[in-house]
Chains A and B, each alone.
Chain A
Amino acid sequence: MHEMGIAMQIVEIAIASIPADLENARIDRVNLKVGKLAAVVPESLHFCFQIAAQDTPLYQADLHIEEIPVVAKCADCHVEWTVLEPVFKCGQCSSGSVEIISGRELDIISIEVVDEDTTDAD
């Protein structure tokens, strides 16, 4: 439900990351990692991103979302497993001391920038 705010934040971070030496930079791809446990629906985020990107250097950008599985690790017997159901209990020793190794990501990994001037020169 808060995907619009997240989309606007992505646009903001992406714009701030354009190197200063690029005069007419356009961002054509944003690479994002979203954990399966993050409170984000990728489909909604794509939709909101299209709107948030309008009238910005991201107006033609693709939002590429890599979904990250939920991986947990038992603090007692140190076994790691991929969590497919919402059960956070060690399958091996039944311990409830479980650490989430991955699955909560909501990270912007990189942007791919096209310098319009350079493209024209090519």
Chain B
Amino acid sequence: MRTRQMPIDMHKIQRYYHHKDFRKPSHSHAGNGVVTEPRKRGSREIKIVRRVLDVNDAIAQQNRDLFAEKGVFVINVMSSPGSGKTAILVKTLSHITQKIRCAVIVGDICTSNDADRLAGFGAPVVQVNTDAFGGDCHLAAHVIKTAVNNFNLDEIDLLIVENLGNLVCPAEFDMGENLRIVVLSVTEGEDKPLKYPLMFRVCDAALLNKIDLLPHLDYDRKTAVRNILQVKPGMPVFEISAKTEEGFNPWIEWLIQKLHDIKLYP
């Protein structure tokens, strides 16, 4: 049942608390936004009002500041597993690395297969395996902060982050990126945007991939696009094939225009 299926590392949690003397906080929160209410019969409510992920948000902001200082434009590419993120990035790199200095961070739970596929375009690639962090289902800001130490940011214009295949969790974690791209492929259901609205809400553009397969599928691309636009009206949707490169030019032009708009060539 559910309890047996949960991939929880009890040892990790026990290690996590092993060194903590939780009864003696190391610092006081007086004057730190925490209000203590009058005690009532040995119990009292302490107001906190804090975002649970504020630690991630704070690191994301540090990343954002660093990227701005170094003039690095960052995109976060997200999708379900198998939608073609890596194939799209391979083709995207082949189009732009002549003009734009790129670097890539690839997140996976295991293996360096994606990094291997992305190597060879003159762009440095760093593979992050999240099993070292407990098999996380997304890349969080601290992972990016560490991973960028592998690059000389002064020599990079565009940093592409390929997130883990997952339409749920990555949507919740800011990494300090400039743009979020969601990939949906025509072998998935047209209703994916309605099933995972947060992901499509937080993204700035959608790539509808594998359109070369449309002749073999009962897929209604108009419905898919309509569903995307119901969740995020006005979002640019690029219908592409990473295999044949059909539809790639508008996507590449849009991406380069965003670089122009936001920072590279004022």
Contacts and interface: CB of A to CB of B under 8 A. Distances in A.
B34 interface: yes
Interface stretch (B96-104, B151-159, B168-176, B178-186): B168-176
Interface in A10-38: 10, 13-20, 23-25, 28, 32, 37-38
B217 interface: no
Interface in A49-98: 51-52, 54-57, 85-89, 95-98
Contact of B172 (A25, A38, A100, A122): A38
Contact of B29 (A16, A106, A108): A16
Given A56-B17, A112-B43, A119-B42, A88 B55 contact: no
B166 interface: yes
Contacts of B50: 13, 107-108
Interface residues of B, number: 54
Contacts of B2: 47
A4 B198 CA distance: 20
**Interface SS, A side:** mixed
A47 B49 CA distance: 22
Contact of B23 (A13, A25, A54, A109): A25
Contact of A110 (B46, B55, B166): B46
A54 B136 CA distance: 21
A118 B39 CA distance: 10
B55 A108 contact: no
Contacts of B194: 85-86
Contact of B52 (A28, A88, A108, A118): A108
Interface in B43-57: 43-53, 55
B18 to A, nearest CB: 9
A47 B6 contact: yes
Interface stretch (B7-15, B62-70, B86-94, B250-258): B7-15
Contact of A86 (B25, B55, B231): B231
A88 B203 CA distance: 14
Contacts of B230: 86-89
A15 B22 contact: yes
B1 to A, nearest CB: 11
A115 B23 CA distance: 11
Given A40-B172, A57-B22, A111-B45, 9 more contacts: A37-B201, A39-B171, A52-B13, A54-B13, A86-B193, A86-B195, A98-B233, A107-B50, A111-B46
Interface of B: 2-3, 6, 8, 10, 13-14, 16-17, 20, 22-23, 25, 27-29, 34, 36, 39, 41-53, 55, 134, 136-138, 166, 168-169, 171-172, 193-195, 197-198, 201, 229-234
Interface of A: 1-2, 4-6, 8-10, 13-20, 23-25, 28, 32, 37-40, 47-48, 51-52, 54-57, 85-89, 95-98, 100, 104, 106-115, 118-119, 121-122
